[in-house]
């Protein structure tokens, strides 16, 4: 079905140096309801085209300064995607061929037959609007495909939303496009925005306006879409006018983003410089993109839940269930990571291995539940002694614990070891079956190295273990340092 010509929005440029013909053409086009601009020669026509972008050009072939053929050729160089009806007094095949060669869509000869002119103008405009609508539909379908692909490729909701508003504003050639996010309280804020440089940004702005909370939320829940072509002639309430004025809007198109029967937010296009008649394709585009954004939101929320679950699983896999400090697996991962980092930085790494003295006797005397409680208390002391975020206290195995101390030299490691012994003694944990004390004690082995390619993690652990063995052999309740 051929669409009707949009007369009220059709701009015709008449280019003719003959004032009589020029006036006749202007009158004929205005009588048809078209808006008309006039130029006296081809050079002036180019300037008017660049400034006004008309829908059709009536172009006389023979003119001073720049003739119609040259003007038509230059319009093609400007990628003028509009119909040009050449008016020529030269009724010969060469002139006709030349007109078509330089880009004319059709021609008419003088003297002008006005009924023929009107018919050809209408036909050219109909073809122009059909092609323009087809091109617009193709571009919008490509945008939807692009956003859909972005959703499939990215789990980052902010990137998807930002891509959407940027591409929509570019395609609709409008001044501002936002995604407005509703908050539980009924107000909301601009979560993403694409705005032309001459207009004030609204990104992150919170709107407390009662228009949204009192009225629009319910209406949007019904799936309503709002179009305002001109805020001055739309019969709006004062609070709505104030809101649109704050957004510097003269016209807007609003589509709700619904999530599980609730309005998650709004996808909004604003025309700030002038009123605008939103066409069917504009509305269809935003509706389809709002549907795509719902998918993106669902996907992002599922991903976020999965990330939280994975973090919990990771935490469970890295934490000792009894003492609630990092386990041997976590110890191995952190020690390797810090070794590699400090090898690059040529900085020291210290390791302390700790062992509860006569722990088997403790379990035999007080029972395993008491032994478990003892392990928890020792772990708590070790965790309190380390002060820096990069330090790690871990359960190494059984009644053994380990401390990883990055960027810590031997002096610093000895200080930590002495502090551990003092803190354990201050706990006054009774251990009647110990062979060296009435209270619980620890033995510690300390080793320090500057990691390098000629050494290894195995070497550091072995030296700390040797120092721990020496502490036990020389009486326990002490620390020894690898020499």
The rounded distance, in Å, linking the Cα atoms of 49 and 92 is 28
Structure tokens at 269: 């296009």
The rounded distance, in Å, linking the Cα atoms of 174 and 279 is 13
| 108 CA to centre of own chain | 54
| 355 CA to centre of own chain | 51
Instruction: Please give the DSSP secondary-structure letter assigned to residue 234.
Output: S
The SS3 assignment for 406 reads strand
The rounded distance, in Å, linking the Cα atoms of 348 and 346 is 7
Active-site annotation holder among 167, 193, 271, 399: 399
Bond before 252 cis per omega within 30 degrees: no
Length of the chain: 483
Residue 256: how many CA atoms within 13 Å on its side-chain side?
20
H-only helix segments in 270-367: 280-318, 328-345, 359-366
Strands of the sheet containing 262-271, edge to edge, are: 206-207, 188-195, 176-182, 262-271, 251-259, 226-228
> ∠76-78-84 over CA atoms, to 5°?
40
Strands 349-356 and 262-271: unpaired
Would you call 399 a catalytic residue per the annotation? yes
> DSSP string spanning 46-106?
HHHHHHH--SEEEEESS-SSS-HHHHHHHHHHTT--S-EEEEES--SHHHHHHHHHTT-SE
The rounded distance, in Å, linking the Cα atoms of 301 and 32 is 56
How would you write 425-443 as a 3-class SS string?
Answer: HHHCCECCCCCCCCECCEE
**Residues belonging to the active site:** 399
């Amino acid at each position: 079905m051929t669409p009707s010509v949009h007369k009220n929005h059709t701009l015709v440029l008449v280019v003719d140096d003959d004032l009589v013909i020029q006036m006749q053409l202007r009158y004929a086009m205005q009588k048809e309801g078209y808006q008309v601009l006039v130029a006296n020669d081809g050079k002036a026509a180019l300037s008017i085209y660049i400034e006004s972008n008309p829908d059709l050009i009536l172009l006389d072939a023979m003119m001073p300064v720049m003739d119609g053929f040259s003007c038509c050729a230059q319009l093609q160089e400007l990628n003028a995607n509009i119909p040009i009806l050449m008016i020529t007094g030269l009724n010969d095949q060469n002139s006709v061929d030349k007109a078509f060669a330089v880009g004319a869509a059709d021609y008419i000869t003088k003297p002008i037959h006005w009924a023929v002119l009107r018919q050809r103008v209408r036909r050219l405009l109909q073809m122009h609007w059909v092609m323009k609508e087809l091109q617009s539909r193709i571009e919008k379908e490509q945008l939807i495909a692009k956003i859909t692909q972005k959703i499939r490729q990215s789990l980052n909701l902010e990137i998807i939303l930002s891509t959407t508003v940027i591409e929509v504003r570019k395609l609709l050639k409008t001044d501002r496009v936002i995604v407005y996010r509703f908050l539980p309280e009924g107000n909301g804020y601009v979560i993403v925005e694409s705005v032309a440089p001459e207009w004030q940004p609204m990104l992150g702005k919170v709107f407390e306006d009662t228009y949204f909370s009192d009225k629009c939320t319910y209406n949007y829940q019904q799936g309503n879409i709002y179009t305002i072509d001109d805020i001055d002639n739309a019969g709006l309430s004062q609070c709505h006018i104030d809101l649109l004025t704050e957004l510097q809007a003269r016209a807007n198109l609003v589509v709700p983003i619904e999530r599980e029967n609730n309005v998650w937010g709004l996808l909004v296009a604003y025309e700030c410089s002038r009123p605008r008649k939103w066409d069917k394709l504009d509305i269809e585009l935003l509706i389809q993109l709002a549907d795509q954004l719902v998918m993106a939101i669902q996907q992002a929320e599922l991903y976020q839940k999965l990330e939280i679950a994975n973090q919990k699983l990771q935490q469970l896999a890295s934490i000792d269930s009894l003492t609630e400090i990092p386990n041997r697996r976590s110890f191995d991962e952190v020690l390797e990571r810090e070794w590699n980092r400090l090898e690059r930085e040529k900085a020291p790494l210290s390791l302390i291995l700790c062992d509860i003295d006569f722990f088997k006797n403790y379990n035999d005397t007080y029972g395993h539940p008491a032994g478990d409680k003892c392990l928890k208390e020792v772990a708590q002391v070790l965790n309190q002694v380390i002060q820096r975020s990069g330090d790690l206290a871990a359960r190494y195995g059984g009644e053994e614990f380990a401390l990883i101390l990055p960027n810590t030299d031997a002096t610093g490691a000895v200080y930590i070891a002495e502090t551990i012994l003092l803190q354990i003694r201050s706990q006054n944990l009774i251990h009647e079956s110990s062979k060296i004390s009435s209270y619980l004690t620890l033995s510690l082995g300390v080793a320090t190295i500057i990691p390098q390619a000629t050494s290894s993690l195995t070497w550091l652990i072995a030296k700390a273990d040797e120092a721990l063995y020496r502490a036990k052999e020389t009486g326990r309740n002490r620390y020894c340092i690898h020499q």
